[in-house]
Structure 1
Amino acid sequence: MKRLHLAWLALWLLSPWSFSAPADEPVRRLPVREYRDKMKAGWIGQIIGVSWGAPTEGRFQTIMPLEKMPPFSEDLVNGAFGQDDLYVEMTFLRSMEQYGFDVSIRQAGIDFANSRYPLWCANAAGRSNLRNAIAPPDSSHPEFHNCAGAIDYQIESDFAGLIAPGMPQIVIGLGEKFGRLMNYGDGMYAGQFMGAMYAEAFFETDPMHLIEAGLRAIPERSMYAEMVRDMVRWRRENPDQWEKTWALAEKKYNQDRNYNISALDVKREGAWVLMGLLYGNGDLDQTMIISTRCGFDSDCNPSSSGGVLFTSRGLSRLPDRYYKRLDEKSVFSHTAYSFPALVSVCEKLARQAMTKAGARIERDAQGEEVFVIPVCAPRPSAFEDLKKPGPVAASRYSPEEMAKITAGLKFEVQEFAPGWKLENCGRDMDPGLKDRWGGKTKVFVTHPLDRTTGCAFTRTVEIPAGKQTALRLEVGRHPKGDWLLVVRADGRELLRKPVDKTTAQNGWLTAEVDLSPLAGKPAKLELVNQPTGWSYEAGYWATIAIAER
């Protein structure tokens, strides 16, 4: 296994980043002023797309009627400061800013593990693996989680193209580093495809040419590449009827389980991004509207199609209704970046990318800086099959590295309920400590491990003799769910009470258990969030207290 890991690492180090450009190679010239203009537009496009589509997210698994499309507002530009489509990829920018462009994949994993924002699907699974010492590349391997082909890196790969104009090999390498934290195979290729479209958008405006550039950056044998070719072919066959193409894509990439093989499968969602680019005819609004109306993850997809198309235009060529109300002082949630700070760090990293790609910076006749970028054909990552994944790398974090990871459930449990531990907590419904929930502050969310195994707070306590001692709990439920509160001491049941719309009418239930009979010897307490079905089974804990009277 150790040899496998070393071989994988050597291949990664040599392949994605290496350049062998001859001295007389063709180059592209990009004035730095134009780079800034288009890079800013790329971020604005992401922001507008995700903000516009946000009210529709997850509501439609069919084509959304046009009348359900939210109206455009000039305030949309300030609607994404709390969106994971933006702040997750800023974690990657921060890693490179702090540790350099060549930050190791292991350090990138530590930084991602230390993030404290809510996550879902592949992001949540990958971060959980990292926090449990499963280092990259194994953190994204299908052996360790079941949504490695999900949408996650696709929606957070925009940064890669925005700091690598005209440099698809850099984009591929960034995918091997940051996309590898949570995604595998098609899940990672999707992000490399998106990033390569962004990188090309600094020089090209035709959506078909942008798609071709993305396709060159991923393995030809991949299912994601097959999806891209399908979408281009269906567009040719149905030039004026995107709804027909939607039906073909939905049948193959949603209904067919040979293709839809992961939760939030990235091939389906990628098809809706392309739908906007292929049928929007270069119109900024229509591109995002079509991607949104395709349904499913209908905020992430217009964010991607909008971001790519806006980049190709540049901020100075956009109608000012998209950006004139931008709040340049607010900071994106969970980051160190306001919009101006984001722009600044992107330019800083783009200059570092130039060095890696063998590019240079010259000055034109007016003394303005110009990026001079070699034209190099990209070499895609090695092919991986989600259905038949390759061997694991046996990559684990050392105790010294684990000491650098200071975020996760075990830390949040100690903040919420010192002395207690958490056992059998599932990943659904974003477990962990929340600042506010249901009108209360500092609420801890748990979720059963599976349909029969409850999640439990556990603690061994010694109850003093001669005193009245009670366990006091305040627990809540999701508005659409219910669960069973079970309290045990040394395996003996002390309380069993449903937490449902009858017992917790305002969302909360208070329970008290007399612990006095346990006096005189240690006892292991278990407070269990036991499932009653498998729908919104999360437990919400506002108070766990042992009090003497």
Structure 2
Amino acid sequence: MNRLFRAPTRWLRLSLDEYVDRMKAGWIGQMVGVGWGGPTEFRYTGAIIPEQEIPAWRPEMVNQFWQDDLYVEMTFLRTLERYGLGVSIRQAGIDFANSRYPLWHANRQGRENLRNGIAPPDTGHPQFNPHADDIDYQIEADFSGLIAPGIPQAAIDLGEVFGRLMNYGDGVYGGQFVGGMYAAAFFEKEPVKIVEAGLQCIPSRSQYAETIRDVLRWYRQYPRDWQRTWELVEQKYNGNPDCRRFSCTQGNFNIDAKLNGAYIVMGLLYGQGDIERTVVISTRCGQDSDCNPSNAAGILFTTIGYSRLPERFKSHLDTRASFAHSDYTFEKLVDVCVKLARQAVVRYGGRVERNGNGGEVWQIPVKPPRASRLVQSWSPEPPSGVRYSPGEMARIRELPWARALAKSFEEWAPGWSLHHCGEDMDPGLHPEWNGRKNVFMTHPLDRQTPCVIVRTVEIPADRKVLLRLTVGHHPGGDWTLVVRANGEELLRQTVGEKTAQNGWLDVTVDLSRYAGQKVRIELLNEPNGWSWEAGYWAKIDIETH
């Protein structure tokens, strides 16, 4: 009986031209938001950014092709272009593992896990990724809604493929929430309804959903006072450890997906459809204050459409420039999104038709989204224990970061090896640093563990042997250079502003006392305060006279 009287499916109608118009605007919105907020990123953490600190918009700021928010999305889109919307999470992981761009936090750890043979979804599991609730997938999930107009389920499903590479629980839900808002923005302009549509895409009992419900409630209580809502968000979600249980705690910033998701929503709600208000409010909330306005502006611009955007936001867009680490120009990106969105329409029960003028029109069935199953990073389910097969590992060309760095160092300083190098400040070979060419940068592993450079050499019995080093420091900090031979400390020297000239210090250590012996030489980049502790090595030579 219920089947006989079931209400007919409601359909949404979207022309190809209208889709392209809104999708293009969504990408431009991301670029506008990240470019506008970029100068403020992490400068204000736990404080509202003063209005005078927000830069004025300039049209040339739109070309943000080098931003990680964007170039990671290009990898995901390329995977979908090659393998379709049904791509496996294992294949998505292989493609992400082979990316070569800089990454941080959950993205970086997830990629390292992949390169070490851990197969997804374990790569984002809290047992293997201490950044599981970080913001990473949230800032790169825009694509999932931009290729899913009116199809929130597609954004959810794409989050289960791509978001699980690096995140878990709320870290994944943040991306699914963002994707769901984009999917709604093709047909809805009212910010509250867009936020509520995104909320339907995540588990209702998740802390992320609780956060968004709180922001909606406080917005209704204080519709003209976004700073009061910011204070309430700050008290509950930044100052309360129960609401920050599995995101990065390094430094004084907070990149928990929930907190920053609240700032996206605040920009949308209090911006009330105005571009500048939306971006400025989302930015002034602080923390990751370029990524949050990027999400907010992308969603808002999708509601507006490219043809209706003010000229100052699109006049200087370079449509032929390529996104960093990608072959996609803006023009190619648009074409790929059209291809994938057309696939999504059909895959999720829609139809591709022609109107009376021969134009392409998409008929999209309205279906309530089915949120992912609730999991929590602080009380996770057991990992699946899956690993990549030898055949799959053969397709991962990039080495894990530590091995790749060690190989690069050995090529730079033959005979020497690198150990316990930390990831802070992105160590590696610099073609030029502070006036010197081919400088290798290292960093201590942590506050107690120095980075160590090692070589074992035979000291001739009848020659004078000197170790000559040229080392530098970051302008904002210093570090301690320690030289050991067979465990004996030969030198301990601060490398900093007071000891170096123009940022560089020349050091000579006489090794002749070890004549006729085999000696293990250790050079330590030792921390002495944990502020800009990188060691810069312009020369490591052993001279025999």
Q: Secondary structure at the match of 2:12?
A: strand
Q: Secondary structure at the match of 1:291?
A: helix
| Structure 2 residues without counterparts, runs of 5 or longer | 1-5, 249-254
Q: Counterparts of 1:267-346 in structure 2 under 5 Å?
A: 267-346=258-337
The answer for the alignment partner of 1:540 in structure 2 is 536
Q: Secondary structure at the match of 1:331?
A: coil
Shifted more, 383-392 versus 41-50: the winner is 383-392
Identity of aligned residues (%): 57
How far apart are 1:459 and its partner, in Å? 4.0
How far apart are 1:123 and its partner, in Å? 1.6
The answer for the alignment partner of 1:380 in structure 2 is 371
The answer for the alignment partner of 2:251 in structure 1 is none
Picking from 62, 72, 75, the partner of 2:60 is 75
The answer for the alignment partner of 1:245 in structure 2 is 229
How far apart are 1:140 and its partner, in Å? 1.4
- 2:238, 2:487 → 1: CA distance? 45
Go from structure 1 to structure 2 and tell me whether the alpha carbon gap of 1:462 and 1:180 turns closer, same or farther (over 3 Å shift). Answer: farther
Contact 2:129 2:166 in 1 (8 A): no
Picking from 397, 408, 413, the partner of 1:415 is 408
**CA offsets 1:360-407 (integer angstroms, 9 cap, x no match):** 211111101112222221111111112212211213234443342324
What amino acid sits opposite 1:73 in the alignment? R
Go from structure 1 to structure 2 and tell me whether the alpha carbon gap of 1:434 and 1:379 turns closer, same or farther (over 3 Å shift). Answer: farther
**CA offsets 1:333-366 (integer angstroms, 9 cap, x no match):** 2221221122122222222323322322111111
The answer for the alignment partner of 1:19 in structure 2 is none
Go from structure 1 to structure 2 and tell me whether the alpha carbon gap of 1:411 and 1:489 turns closer, same or farther (over 3 Å shift). Answer: same
- 1:234, 1:145 → 2: CA distance? 33
Shifted more, 49-58 versus 357-366: the winner is 357-366
Contact 1:124 1:427 in 2 (8 A): no
Go from structure 1 to structure 2 and tell me whether the alpha carbon gap of 1:545 and 1:37 turns closer, same or farther (over 3 Å shift). Answer: farther
What amino acid sits opposite 1:456 in the alignment? V
How far apart are 1:97 and its partner, in Å? 2.5
1:484 has 2:475 as partner:
no
**CA offsets 1:311-347 (integer angstroms, 9 cap, x no match):** 1111001111101111122222222122112212222
**CA offsets 1:439-471 (integer angstroms, 9 cap, x no match):** 444443332222211122334445566555544
What amino acid sits opposite 1:86 in the alignment? L
**CA offsets 1:148-187 (integer angstroms, 9 cap, x no match):** 1111111111111111111111111211111111111111
Go from structure 1 to structure 2 and tell me whether the alpha carbon gap of 1:290 and 1:415 turns closer, same or farther (over 3 Å shift). Answer: same
Q: Secondary structure at the match of 1:496?
A: strand
- 2:278, 2:417 → 1: CA distance? 49
- TM-score by length of structure 1 reads 0.90
What amino acid sits opposite 1:91 in the alignment? T
The answer for the alignment partner of 1:191 in structure 2 is 175
**CA offsets 1:77-121 (integer angstroms, 9 cap, x no match):** 12x122111112212112223344333322322322232222222
Go from structure 1 to structure 2 and tell me whether the alpha carbon gap of 1:222 and 1:159 turns closer, same or farther (over 3 Å shift). Answer: same
Q: Secondary structure at the match of 1:194?
A: helix
Contact 1:409 1:432 in 2 (8 A): no
Contact 1:426 1:450 in 2 (8 A): yes
- 2:27, 2:239 → 1: CA distance? 33
What amino acid sits opposite 2:159 in the alignment? G
| Structure 1 residues without counterparts, runs of 5 or longer | 1-21
**CA offsets 1:209-241 (integer angstroms, 9 cap, x no match):** 111111011011111100000000000000111
What amino acid sits opposite 2:469 in the alignment? L
Contact 1:425 1:449 in 2 (8 A): yes
1:127 has 2:111 as partner:
yes
- 2:529, 2:429 → 1: CA distance? 24
Contact 2:477 2:532 in 1 (8 A): yes
The answer for the alignment partner of 2:44 in structure 1 is 60
What amino acid sits opposite 1:473 in the alignment? L
Contact 1:482 1:537 in 2 (8 A): yes
1:170 has 2:154 as partner:
yes
The answer for the alignment partner of 2:496 in structure 1 is 500
**CA offsets 1:386-441 (integer angstroms, 9 cap, x no match):** 22122112132344433423243422432343254432222322233444444444
Picking from 191, 213, 219, the partner of 1:229 is 213
Alpha-carbon RMSD across the aligned residues, in angstroms, is 2.3
Contact 2:409 2:417 in 1 (8 A): no
Q: Counterparts of 1:135-154 in structure 2 under 5 Å?
A: 135-154=119-138
1:156 has 2:156 as partner:
no
The answer for the alignment partner of 1:116 in structure 2 is 100
The answer for the alignment partner of 1:456 in structure 2 is 452
Go from structure 1 to structure 2 and tell me whether the alpha carbon gap of 1:414 and 1:230 turns closer, same or farther (over 3 Å shift). Answer: same
**CA offsets 1:494-534 (integer angstroms, 9 cap, x no match):** 43222111123422333344455556665444332211122
Go from structure 1 to structure 2 and tell me whether the alpha carbon gap of 1:146 and 1:337 turns closer, same or farther (over 3 Å shift). Answer: same
Go from structure 1 to structure 2 and tell me whether the alpha carbon gap of 1:379 and 1:522 turns closer, same or farther (over 3 Å shift). Answer: farther
Contact 1:413 1:420 in 2 (8 A): no
1:360 has 2:356 as partner:
no
